Amino acid sequence: MNIGEIAKRSGVSRSTVSYALSGKRPVAEETRRRIQAVIDELGYRPNAAARALKEGRTRTIGLVIPPASQRLTDVQLGFVASVVDAAARADLDILLSPSGGEHDRSFERVVSGSRVDGVILMEIRLEDDRVARLRRSGLPFVGIGHTSRSDEMTWVDIDYETLMARCVRHLADLGHRHIALVNRSAELVAAGYGPSHRAQLGFTGAVAERRLEGVQVCCADDAQAGRSCVERLLAAHPELTAIATINEAAVPGMYRALTAARLSVPGDFSVTGVAARHWAENLHPPLTAADILADELGARAVDLLIQRISDPDAPSRHLLVAPPISLRETTGPARPRAGRP
Amino acid sequence: MNIGEIAKRSGVSRSTVSYALSGKRPVAEETRRRIQAVIDELGYRPNAAARALKEGRTRTIGLVIPPASQRLTDVQLGFVASVVDAAARADLDILLSPSGGEHDRSFERVVSGSRVDGVILMEIRLEDDRVARLRRSGLPFVGIGHTSRSDEMTWVDIDYETLMARCVRHLADLGHRHIALVNRSAELVAAGYGPSHRAQLGFTGAVAERRLEGVQVCCADDAQAGRSCVERLLAAHPELTAIATINEAAVPGMYRALTAARLSVPGDFSVTGVAARHWAENLHPPLTAADILADELGARAVDLLIQRISDPDAPSRHLLVAPPISLRETTGPARPRAGRP
DNA sequence: TCGATTCCTCGAATCGGTTCGACTGAACGT
DNA sequence: ACGTTCAGTCGAACCGATTCGAGGAATCGA
């Protein structure tokens, strides 16, 4: 059923039906009611493709996520959920595009097929082809995360550098002198993953500032890896009394390694880091951490994108979020491991 | 840049460009090359809306997920990931629609705006309005899960009834006589959530068959709830020696409650259930469970949907999956709790 | 040499909306 | 009584692709 059918049955022209629906020109009240009755009866909805074709916009935004094959972290999931939510509130649909892996055709379709009015890009690398591709296309886009040239685009991001520095200072305040940074996977770090890179900066900076001893290791995003990573760490650095991490998926494994080593948390050993609040709260014991407010960040990304769509030539904007550390149950005063039996 | 621009620059008509791209009519090799050169130079891609309008199909499928506000379980995430993956392989785009909560406008847009060629529906209730809505619309759709009238639609599903019966029999074989079923949240069960309902059937059936004593409880989908649920359970039923569950999110909390009660797993108490393999493996200790192969299920749903789109009048098809139990480390011979100090 | 066939290309119609210019009455002011 | 204004409506053009019927040129067989 198309608009012509509605027009015929209401005894008006197609344009009148269109105006009755959009309200862009006055339509007699009685006519409007007649048209509405026909529409309700037939359950008519304007064809999205036809409308998009004429209007030149699709009322749809693209959400580019990491390849589906690799499991999303809780923080990433939080982003997706909040973007979906915010978009729904703004009556925008979401076209999902896994990018990165093999099927970049999906990304290419989203970018150049005029399928979307704008794009939200997740999991951005310091050097990211997709950003260049999007800039060339002229499509408005907003990053959750940003590249090394941060001015070249609009983004929202978590201030991993500040957050990690806060974690380190928090540990230093508790008397810890030897601490380790457990980063994300070596592949990610090598690929120039921004959060990993900035966490390193924050870590080394704060370690130097407080004259501590710091160790840095990479760790794959799962519990197994977390466990073996911490086991190696404990063996190689007996003087270690605390860990700061941005690898939430590995934390349960880290707990297990500590338990296995008969180190109680936070009595003998402290753990802190950057994680989704929900996740940190539900760990056992609950993780003292800088809480990532994924909900807010995703919603702000959508806001910025909507603005950017309505005014593509406005200067790019940035939003860097650094929430305070929520004290929970995994950090305490330093107690030298050497002093233990 | 549109097809007319390409035509002009190649010195041919628009239709020739179209045929060169689609190959639906012969085009001279030299002409084709010239057109291709122009296309490559300008980076032209046909406008998706225009194509959809003319062809009457969008090369997009809708994926209806539970409202984003509520966290998705690992199994659900597995479905989403595998659907996204399978769709990308088939060169289909995915339109994401959270449904259920407040914003059903999103669902309505997907169903009746001709935005998609078909829909995959997740988290189906025994009585589900959305199924009726989709049937009325005539849009091809496939459910992951199904309603009480299972013939009315095409679906793939996990055979929770069989799986739960297997769990119970497995426990019975190990000598357990008193076991509990920890279901999903009371709200879900009350709303007629199929998996919960069928798990109940399988549980009561197998309990009766093996002449066991069974208790059933509901439990919200998080660790906290799992913990308090099991604490209550242990207090109220001292004879209990095993739990079977379909609530994966609650399992870590259940472990904690058992640990707190000084019950070792699997020495003093057995736990088993239905869960995503990834999840079961990464728990500590790894959960003996019937593994849900979310990857396969999502991919099959996409296959079925593609078939249904190409032949909407074919009879509906069903796919019920019941993988065997993977023995891990959480079930062992029954040891009466009464016999403990 | 002439019609038939084949190969390649073109113009026009079409999909289902939106929007612009123009037309018709009725109401209005002077 | 006569322009003006304005509400309400219509027809036609347009968005960017696909596809059908048709036509021109080259090739072929008789």
Nearest to B84 among A68, A71, A115 (CB): A68
pLDDT in tens, B119-133: 999 989 999 999 999
> CB distance B284–A47 less than 8 Å?
no
- C-alpha closest to that of A111 among A70, A74, A140, A77: A140
Angle A21-A26-A28 from CA coordinates, rounded to 5°: 90
Rounded Cα–Cα distance for residues A249 and A70 (Å): 13
Helix or strand or coil: residue B211? coil
Closest CA to A257 of A239, A277, A284, A234: A234
Which residue from B47, B68, B110 is facing A84, i.e. has the nearest CB?
Answer: B68
Contact between chains at B98 and A88 (C-beta distance less than 8 A): yes
CA distance B11 to B6: 8
Query: Minimal Cα–Cα distance from A131 to chain B, Å?
Result: 17
- Average predicted confidence (pLDDT) for chain B: 93
Pairing of strands B270-276, B288-292: parallel
Question: Is A106–B85 a contact, with Cβ atoms under 8 angstroms apart?
Answer: no
Is residue A326 helix, strand or coil?
Answer: strand
For A145, phi and psi rounded to 5 degrees? 110, 165
Cα–Cα nearest to B116, from A68, A111, A48, A99: A48
**Any idea which architecture A160-292+325-339 has in CATH?**
3-Layer(aba) Sandwich (3.40)
Cβ-based neighbours of A97, under 8 Å, separated by 6 or more: A62, A63, A64, A65, A106, A107, A109, A110, B93, B94
**Minimal C-alpha gap between A253 and chain B (Å):** 9
Helix runs in chain A, H state only: 3-10, 14-22, 29-42, 48-55, 74-89, 105-112, 129-137, 160-173, 186-190, 194-209, 223-236, 251-260, 277-282, 294-310
Q: Which pLDDT band, with edges at 50, 70 and 90, does B76 fall under?
A: confident
List of residues 6+ apart from A87 with CB closer than 8 A: A61, A93, A94, A302
Helix axes A223-236, A251-260, angle to 10 degrees: 50
- Positions in chain D where some atom is under 7 Å from a protein CB: 7-12, 14-21
- With bands split at pLDDT 50, 70 and 90, how would you rate the model's confidence at B207? very high
CB proximity B99 to A under 8 Å: no
Asked if residue B50 keeps its beta carbon closer than 7 A to nucleic acid strand D, the reply is: yes
- CA–C1' gap, B19 and C9, in angstroms: 10
CATH topology agreement for domains B3-46 and B60-158+294-321? no
Contact check, Cβ <8 Å, B113/A46: yes
Is beta strand B178-182 parallel, antiparallel or unpaired with respect to B60-65?
unpaired
Closest CA in chain A for residue B225: A282
pLDDT at site A75: 86
**How high is the pLDDT of residue B165?**
97
Interface test with B, best of A94, A107, A287, A295 (most B CBs within 10 A): A94
DSSP reduced 3-state for A83: helix
* Nearest alpha carbon to residue B96 among B55, B74, B64, B66: B64
Place of tokens 């305040």: A173
Nearest amino-acid residue to C15, taking CA and C1': B54
Q: How far apart are CA B3 and CA B279, in angstroms?
A: 49
- Let me know: does B308 contact B314? Beta carbons within 8 Å: yes
Beta-bridged to residue B216, according to DSSP, are: B181
Q: For residue B72, list chain A residues with Cβ-Cβ distance below 8 A.
A: 77, 81
CB contact under 8 A, B114 and A72: no
Contact A237/B at CB under 8 A: no
Residue keyed to tokens 């088993």: B272
- pLDDT of B338: 57
Q: Which of residues 253-282 of A touch B (CB under 8 A)?
A: 256, 278, 282
Q: Which of B279, B305, B301 is nearest to B291 (CA)?
A: B279
- Where on the phi/psi map is residue A292: left (φ > 0), alpha (ψ -120 to 50), or beta? beta
Overall fold of domain A3-46: 434 Repressor (Amino-terminal Domain) (1.10.260)
The pLDDT value given to residue B340: 45
Are B45 and A223 a contacting pair at CB < 8 A? no
Q: What is the mean pLDDT of residues B157-173?
A: 96
B169-175 long-range Cβ contacts below 8 angstroms, 24+ apart: B169/B206, B169/B209, B169/B210, B170/B272, B170/B288, B170/B325, B170/B331, B171/B242, B171/B244, B171/B270, B171/B272, B171/B331, B171/B334, B172/B206, B172/B210, B172/B212, B174/B242, B174/B270, B174/B331, B174/B332, B174/B333, B174/B334, B175/B333, B175/B334
* Among the partner residues A71, A95, A136, nearest to B95 by beta-carbon distance: A95
pLDDT at B304: 97
Q: What pTM was computed for the model?
A: 0.91
CA of B203 to C1' of C13 (A): 64
Which backbone phi and psi does B270 adopt, to 5 degrees? -110, 145
Instruction: Name the β-bridge partners of B193.
Output: B125
Supply the pLDDT for residue A341.
Answer: 42
Nearest in space to B258 (alpha carbons), one of B270, B248, B249: B270
> What is residue A102's predicted lDDT score, i.e. its pLDDT?
65
Is strand D less than 7 A from the beta carbon of B59? no
- Rounded CA gap, A19 and B173, in Å? 71
Question: Along chain A (341 residues), what's the average pLDDT of each consecutive run of 10 residues?
Answer: 95 96 95 97 96 96 84 84 92 90 81 94 92 93 93 94 97 97 95 93 98 97 94 96 96 94 95 92 91 90 96 93 94 77 42
Domain locations in chain A? 3-46, 60-158+294-321, 160-292+325-339
Q: Which residues are within 7 Å of strand C by their Cβ atom?
A: A 1-4, 14-15, 18-19, 21-22, 24, 44, 46-47, 50-51, 53-55; B 11-16, 19, 25-32, 50, 53-54, 56
Q: Which residues pair with A182 in a beta bridge?
A: A217, A245
Interchain contact, A284 vs B256, CB within 8 Å: yes
Q: Give just the sign of the alpha carbon dihedral B47, B53, B56, B62.
A: positive
Minimal Cβ distance to A223: which of B114, B136, B282: B282
A56 touches strand D (CB under 7 A): yes
Which residues on A lie below 8 Å from B61 (Cβ)?
none
Q: What does the block give as tokens for B52? A: 């959809």
What's the pLDDT band for B282 if we cut at 50, 70, 90? Answer: confident
Token pair listed for B92:
């289909």
- A96 vs B contacts (CB less than 8 Å): 63, 84, 93-96
What's the token pair of residue B168? 């119970």
Size of interface A-B (CB pairs under 8 A): 136
Could you read off the pLDDT of B294-311 as tens digits, one per residue?
888 999 999 999 999 999
pLDDT at B32 over 70: yes
Q: Answer for the pair B277, B82: CB distance below 8 angstroms, yes or no.
A: no
- Beta-carbon separation of A93 and B106 below 8 A: yes
Q: Which fold has domain A60-158+294-321?
A: Rossmann fold (3.40.50)
Helices first, then strands: H and E counts in chain B: 14, 12
Comparing every residue's Cα with the C1' atom of nucleotide C6, the nearest one is B26
3-state secondary structure of A271: strand
Query: Quick one: which H or E segment has residue B271?
Result: strand B270-276
Cβ neighbourhood burial of B210 (10 Å; 0-12, 13-18, 19+): middle
pLDDT the model gives residue B279: 86
Contacts of B89 in chain A (CB under 8 A): 103
**According to the model, what pLDDT value does residue A282 have?**
83
Percent pLDDT > 90 in chain B is 82
Q: Does B88 touch chain A (CB under 8 A)?
A: yes
